[in-house]
Amino acid sequence: MIFSTKKAHIEEEKCDLLVVGLYTDEIPTDEFTYINEATEGLLSDVLKEEGVKGKAGEMSLVRTSEWLDAKRVLVIGLGKQEKCTQESIREASATAHKVAKRLAAKTICFAPLGVDSEKVKARTSAKAITEGFILGGYVFSKYKKEKKPSKVSDISIVVESLRDVKQIEKGIEDGKIYAEATMYARDLVNEPAEHLRPLDLVERAKEIVKGKKDLKIKIFDEAKLKSMKAGGILSIAKGSDHPPFMVHMIYKPEKAKKRIALVGKAVTFDSGGLSLKPSGSMETMKMDMAGSASVLGVFSRIVALNPNVEVHGIFAACENMPGPNAIKPGDVVHAMNKKTIEILNTDAEGRVTLADALTYATKQKPDLIIDLATLTGACVVALGEEVAGVMSNHPKQTNDLLDAAYEAGEKMWQLPLEPRYNKLIESKIADVKNIGGRYGGALTAGLFLQMFVGDTPWIHIDIAGPSFAERPLNAYTEYGGSGFAVRTLIEYLRSI
Ligand code: BES
Ligand code: ZN
Ligand code: ZN
């Protein structure tokens, strides 16, 4: 698929499908007016007939080959003009891709969507069109005999001014980076656990770093983890035949303003361990490495992204299995920061592995740690399947992150790190236990993690809900791994 832009009259373009936006405000965009006039009012007639007013999600497909060089025009609803955001554009563009697929269209022309309001600039519009279009076409077809690839080959965004052409070119490049990084993470999450073991995650990280001068990697195998006394990750890995690893990727541009550590939960399969999950709950547990997938997704495009910050990507990978050497409820383990953890439920494994990954991250002396973890079912109970929970010891950074999430179209909501609930994770025999009470499970998990970050500014994102879409999250996120948080992280890194 090739994206491009040009200065031209949209109604004169030759293509299989021409996409133009419609607001509910009844003030048509210039492009709509040109096309409508060139088709002698066909568009407005059809819209009237079909009762299409321009609400988000509405659309109308009109055959125009008698009047134009474009075979068909897709009029797509963007809602109220003043409320039109990047997200409306992404969804509209993803929908256009689905229509194009159905029609087996090869060439698509877009009018720049959403630029009529002050809020959305040409570059942003092009970014959102590109991002939504690519992500809207994503399918994980690796294990399908019949792959049904999209036939779309050329997508061009047609504008009237030369100045916009430059901005649109930049926007297209932005959109590609966001989408490709997200799809990298989606592919990892969708990969069955038997094909993506801890060692495979290490291999992916190596591939990403290979041949790039701004990227470095450190890999810690089981022996090395033992010498580092990383008892958290080691203890959870004991029930599996696949050995654990810790991976540390470093992106270091010349004049970095800040140092950010991204830490991802990397449990390649979560059976629950001896506290075995019921089979239904295990069905999607190949996704329990989604945090690390998002970190790898960001790193897969970080050189092209070129943010002015030093970024450290860290994950401790293991598999949580009930093998003969598995950790047992009641065991006490020594985490890397010397704190002792009483393991009362082996299914609360993520926090135990993260304890070491976070300890290691603090040693890099970052200005901020962001961890991403499919940590608790409780967070899904609290916020549903589409919204991630955010907990932090640093309000300013959290606001910036939440702003980035909004821009990226990813739903996140802050939950409190309520110190009163620390009593719920007090252990009778160790420094902390790995489960809280019946209530507030997302918060007690957050409080547990806090014990391993010391004073380092830190944001924890519980992505258990949205990381794996059991049903579509939006027009550009269908069933399966969503690559959640990749776009927020990119947005955040660029905002620094
Ligand atoms: N990986 C799960 C959390 C999870 C649940 C992710 C649903 C995605 C969807 C985690 O390791 C886990 O099992 N947590 C337990 C904690 C409990 C034992 C305190 C949970 O949430 O049930
Ligand atoms: Zn678990
Ligand atoms: Zn887990």
Give the predicted TM-score (pTM) of the model: 0.98
For 31, 85, 188, 442, 463, the CA distances from 466, given in Å and listed in that order, are: 36, 21, 15, 15, 6
* Distance from the alpha carbon of residue 349 to the mean position of ligand 1, in angstroms: 8
Distance CA 463, CA 389 (A): 7
Q: Evaluate: CB of 131 within 6 angstroms of ligand 1.
A: no
Task: Please give the mean pLDDT across all residues of the chain.
Answer: 97
- What one-letter code names the amino acid at 197? R
Q: Answer whether 111 contacts ligand 1 (Cβ < 6 A).
A: no
Cβ(341)–Cβ(352) below 8 Å: yes
Does ligand 1 come within 6 angstroms of the Cβ of 174?
Answer: no
Q: State yes or no: is 218 an active-site residue.
A: no
Q: For this structure, is 163 an active site residue?
A: no
What confidence score (pLDDT) does residue 26 get?
81
Question: Largest Cα–Cα distance in the chain?
Answer: 81
Please identify which of the residues 127, 351, 433, 487 carries the catalytic annotation: 351
pLDDT for res 72? 98
Secondary structure of 284-305 as H, E, C letters: CHHHHHHHHHHHHHHHHCHHHH
Ligand 1, closest atom to CA 281? 7
- Could you say which ligand is closest to the alpha carbon of residue 265? 3
pLDDT for 221 beyond 80:
yes
Test site for ligand 1: of 275, 343, 344, 347, most ligand atoms within 8 A of the Cβ: 347
Q: Tens digit of pLDDT for each residue in 183-194?
A: 999 999 999 999
Query: What's the rounded Cα separation, in Å, for the pair 230 and 335?
Result: 6
117: confidence class by pLDDT, cuts 50, 70, 90 = confident
User: Quick one: pLDDT at residue 257?
Assistant: 87
CA–centroid distance, 348 to ligand 2, in Å, is 5
Of the candidates 340, 347, 442, the residue with the CA atom closest to the CA atom of residue 389 = 442
Tokens standing for residue 436: 């809280």
For the Cβ of 5 lying below 6 angstroms from any atom of ligand 1, the answer is no
The position carrying tokens 């990119």 is 490
CA–centroid distance, 181 to ligand 3, in Å, is: 23
Ligand nearest to the CA of 379: 1
Least confident of 3-12, 21-30, 418-427, 450-459: 21-30
Residue 320 near ligand 1, beta carbon < 6 Å = no
- With a 6 Å cutoff on the Cβ, whether 376 touches ligand 1 is yes
Please pick, among 277, 328, 339, 494, the residue that the annotation labels catalytic: 277
Whether the per-residue pLDDT at 118 is higher than 90: the answer is no
Q: What is the pLDDT of residue 297?
A: 98
pLDDT digits (tens, 9 = 90+) for 395-430: 999 999 999 999 999 999 999 999 999 999 999 999
Locus of tokens 């809602």: 79
What does the pLDDT read at residue 161?
86
